[in-house]
Each structure stands twice: as C-alpha cells, then as structure tokens.
Structure 1
Amino acid sequence: MVTHSGPVVAAVLALLVAASLGSWTIIFRKLLQLRRAREQSSRFLETFWRSKRLDQIYKVADELPLSPIAQVFRAGYVELSKVTQSQPQADASMHDQLSGFENVERALGRAANAELTTLEASIPFLGTTAAAAPFVGLFGTVWGIMGAFRDIYQVGNANLATVARPISEALIATAVGLFAAVPALVAYNAFNSRIRVLENEMRNFSADFLNIIKRHIFKKAA
C-alpha cells in the first residue's frame, strides 16, 4: 500500500496507527469508567439522602468503589470519626469542634482532588493525539510527495501513471492522521465535559456534607 513512499512515510503511518489504537483503547476504557462512576454515584447519593446514619452510608460507600462521590464521603467520614474519637462532644470546646471541622474539610478536598486525578488519567493523550496527528500526517504527506517528485526527476518521466501512485500513497498519511485525530478530539471534549459534571457533583456534595456537620456542631453547642 505504501511501497513507493519510503521508510519515513511508513514510520509516520506506523506512529499514527499506534496513536489511533491507543486512543481507541482509552476511549473504550473511559466510556466504561465514566458510565460506572455515574451509575454508582447516583446510587450513593440516593442512599445518602435517604439514610439517617452515617455508618450505614459508609457501608454502602464501601460497596461502590467506582463512585468518586462515595470515595469523597469515605475520606470525610474517616476523618470525622478520628475527630470525634479524639474530641468527645461533651468535653470539646467550640474552637476544638470547628478545628475538627476544618480537618474534615481538608480531607474532603484531598479526596476530591485524588478522584479527579483518577478520572482525568489518560485524557491528555487524547488531546495530544487530536492536536498532533493531523500535522504528523501532513508531514508524512509532504515528505512522500517530495520523494515522489525526486524519483520523477531522476527517471525523467512525468506522465500521470508515474506521478499518481506515489502521490496517492503519500496522501494516505494525511487521511490516517485525520482518522486518528477526529475520534480523539470528539472523545477528549466529551470526556472532559462528563468529568466536569462529576467534579461539580463532588464539590457540591462536599459542601452539603460539611453543612450537615456544621449544623450538628452548632446544635450540640446550643
């Protein structure tokens, strides 16, 4: 298929095919990961707002490892348990309780950042492929056309039959570059949009959870 284009164009095509295969692997993995994250997060939020006991919610969160919101709750609950054990409500001052509240807030923030990092893993590869693949393909095409004209000059025969095949082979590089770039670009934008939704849900849940804890602190102090 590229017998007349030379080793450079062949290397470009191999690189683009590898990038395309890598992109499709990431696309299928991310589709599955984000779908499960969404489904498990919906289940967790339903349980969270229905249940009256944090320990029961924690048990449910343990069963939903792919839900970023559930994992954020787990981190906050663990920190809240540590604070509660170290500062019994009967003995803790308002200052101590608010200090413990800040510890929980930091734990929720760290967990949300960790979950966001997990969700965004491999996404930059899609962005890089989308941005670079067309130019890599164009480079292969230009190189192939240069080689075709060089061969024509050496042979001294510039009829259509001589020119058409090497140039058409060189143009394959641009086509493969676009084939690699377009799905990667679509997936990159779609995944980033879904991840931003999950990020907002994590931040909103953290704020709601902190409000519940704060109301509990002031209720005890009243």
Structure 2
Amino acid sequence: MQLSITNMVLHAGPVGQLVMFTLLIFSIVSWTIVFTKARLFKKVRLDSEDFLETFWSSANLSEALVAAEDFDYSPEAEVFITGFNELQKINKIRSKKETGISGESLDMQLATMDNLKRAVRKAESRKINFLGKNLPFLATTGSATPFIGLFGTVWGIMVSFHDIGQRGSASLAVVAPGISEALVATAAGLAVAIPAVIFYNHFSNQLDYIQSEIDNFTTDFLNLVERDMISRV
C-alpha cells in the first residue's frame, strides 16, 4: 500500500483530526506572518537606504524633511520627522521666552536637547515595536507545535493499544496502521515548527540590524542639532 498522509488524517479519530486542524491553523497564520514580514522588511531596507542617501546629500534639515515624507517605510525618516517637528515646537517656545541672558539660554538649550532626545527615542521605540509585531507568534509556533503534534501521537498510540486489547491480537498488521497514523501528528508538528523557528530567528536578526541602524542615525541627528546649538552660543 502506498503511504498516503491524507488518508491517514481522514481515518484518524476526532482527537487526531483536531490536533491536525490546530496545526494547520498555526501553519497558515505563521506563513502569513512570514510573507508579510518579508515584504515589509524589504520595503524598510530599500526606503531606509534611499532616505539616508537623500538626508546626507540635503543642504539643510528643511530640505531633508520634504524628502523624508516620501519614504513611508523608512524608520529613520519617521524618527527624523518626529525630531524635526519637536525641534520646531521647541524653537517656537524659545522665541517667545528669549531673554538674552546667557545662563538662561544655556539652560534652555539643555532642556531642548532633553526634550528632543525623548521625542526621537519614543518614535524609535514605537517603530521597532511595529516592525516586531506578530513575531512572538512565530516563536510560540516553534515551541508549541511539536508538543501539540506529540500529544496527537501519544493519543493515537493509546487508541491503538486499546484496539489491540479489544481484538486480542498484537500482530504487525494490527498495530502498524494505528501507530503510523499517530506518528503523522508528530511529523506535522515538526513541519510547522521548523520553518517558524528559522524565520523567527531570521526576522529577529533583521530587526536587531534595523534597530542598530536607527540608533546610529538618531545619534548622528542629535549630534547635528547639538553642534548647531553650540555654534550659536
């Protein structure tokens, strides 16, 4: 007889079929996340490269701001837009409260940098959380589905031994079909878990790289603003 996974699943008991259905749901959701994240991270990489090239070639921050609005998927562009808008708000407040006293001016500059740092760090954290959304499900799939499949296998073996007891025969012809059907659940669990673990690690590494690039850009942007403030003293 030819090995038919479909026939084994169809002839399995209610518990076995429930296990296989659960694994199917995990698989569908996992692969949906994989394809979605693959497209998203590709767009993020391309937009980030283009934005950074445009940013460093811009004559001033206002020109860079106009260009940044065209890169919807670039985390660096979002961080820059947030930082620039925050800087504009602070400058408006400073212009209203300018006293001309150097001590107060220095205090205001320090306060400006603190507010700006908080704003860009918040934007950075928000973007990283967005990019990492749904990745924990892949980790859950990788850790849980092998045990779900193992449960189906254990249950199937229990049923097979129960049938052996009822028939009073332990020949290979009696035992083999039930055992093979039970083992399908373990194989299915591993088939769902292995890709989930591989892509979770892959996307986690990509996310770490993106976060590192955002940190580098944020540091460079804050340094530019701080040097500009120092030059005005």
With normalisation by structure 2, the TM-score equals 0.91
- Aligned counterpart, 1:174: 186
Matched, 1:163 2:185: no
1:62 offset after TM fit, Å? 1.1
1:4 offset after TM fit, Å? 4.4
- Aligned counterpart, 2:123: 111
- Aligned counterpart, 1:7: 14
- Aligned counterpart, 2:102: none
Contact 1:16 1:177 in 2 (8 A): yes
Deviant stretches of 4+, over 4 Å: none
Matched, 1:199 2:211: yes
Matched, 1:183 2:192: no
Structure 1: runs of 5+ lacking an equivalent: none
141-150 or 153-162: which moved more? 153-162
1:77-88 aligned at under 5 Å gives the runs 77-88=84-95
Percent identity among equivalent residues? 43
* RMSD value, Cα: 1.4
- Aligned counterpart, 1:67: 74
1:124 offset after TM fit, Å? 0.1
1:146 offset after TM fit, Å? 0.7
- Aligned counterpart, 1:38: 45
Contact 1:133 1:181 in 2 (8 A): yes
Contact 1:5 1:148 in 2 (8 A): no
Contact 1:9 1:170 in 2 (8 A): yes
1:88 offset after TM fit, Å? 2.7
SS at match of 1:157: coil
Contact 1:68 1:115 in 2 (8 A): yes
Between 1 and 2, higher relative CO (CA 8 Å, sep ≥ 6) is seen in 1
Contact 1:5 1:147 in 2 (8 A): no
1:164-205 deviation line (CA, Å, top 9, x unaligned): 111111111011101100000000000000000000111111
**Total equivalences in the alignment:** 221
- Give, in whole Å, the separation in 2 of the partners of 1:102 and 1:3: 64
With normalisation by structure 1, the TM-score equals 0.96
Contact 1:4 1:166 in 2 (8 A): no
- Aligned counterpart, 2:157: 145
